[in-house]
C-alpha cells in the first residue's frame, strides 16, 4: 500500500489526526500517545490542530510494525529512531529487509526437499 503520489511533497502536512488515524487504522489517541512519547512531531496549524505528512504516516506504520510484529516497546522504538538520526542511516529498513530475507530463507525447502523448521523463541514451548 503506497500513500505517495508523484505530485505531492511527502513532507507537506495535510492530514488531520482523524484522517491520519484512519489511514493507519489506529485510534487518534494512539497518535497522541506516540507524540507524547517523542516518536512523532506533527505540524500544527495556528489554531493548534495537528497535521500529519505522508512521511509521518510512514513513520506511524513503522512504529506499528515494530510494536505489533517485532514486540518492541515504545521506549525501544525511541532509542532506535534516535540511533537512526545520530548515524544518519536507515537501520530500521535494513533490519526489516534482513528479517524478511531470513523468513523467506527459512521457508525454502532444503536439499532434501523438506522445509527447515522455524526456530522457536527462547523460553517458548
Cα–Cα distance, 108 to 123 (Å, whole number): 25
Q: Closest Cα to residue 31, out of 53, 12, 46, 8? A: 53
User: Is the pLDDT assigned to residue 125 strictly greater than 80?
Assistant: no
Separation in Å, CA 21 to CA 10, 85, 98, 123: 17, 25, 29, 35
C-alpha cell at 19: 484522517
Structure confidence by residue, pLDDT tens digits, 45-91 = 999 999 999 999 999 999 999 999 989 999 999 999 998 888 877 77
pTM, two decimals, is 0.69
- Say if domain 15-107 classifies as CATH 3.40.30.10: no
User: 117 CB contacts (<8 Å, ≥6 apart)?
Assistant: none
What local confidence, expressed as pLDDT, does residue 89 receive?
A: 75
User: Is the pLDDT assigned to residue 43 strictly greater than 90?
Assistant: yes
Amino acid at each position: 500500500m503506497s500513500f505517495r503520489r508523484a505530485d505531492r511533497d511527502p513532507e507537506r502536512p495535510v492530514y488531520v489526526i482523524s484522517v491520519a488515524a484512519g489511514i493507519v487504522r489506529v485510534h487518534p489517541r494512539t497518535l497522541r500517545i506516540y507524540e507524547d512519547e517523542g516518536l512523532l512531531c506533527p505540524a500544527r496549524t495556528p489554531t493548534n490542530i495537528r497535521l500529519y505528512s505522508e512521511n509521518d504516516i510512514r513513520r506511524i506504520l513503522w512504529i506499528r510494525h515494530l510494536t505489533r510484529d517485532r514486540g518492541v516497546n515504545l521506549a525501544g522504538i525511541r532509542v532506535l529512531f534516535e540511533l537512526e538520526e545520530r548515524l544518519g542511516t536507515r537501520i530500521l529498513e535494513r533490519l526489516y529487509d534482513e528479517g524478511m530475507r531470513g523468513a523467506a530463507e527459512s521457508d525454502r525447502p532444503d536439499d532434501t526437499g523438506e522445509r527447515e523448521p522455524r526456530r522457536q523463541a527462547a523460553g517458548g514451548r
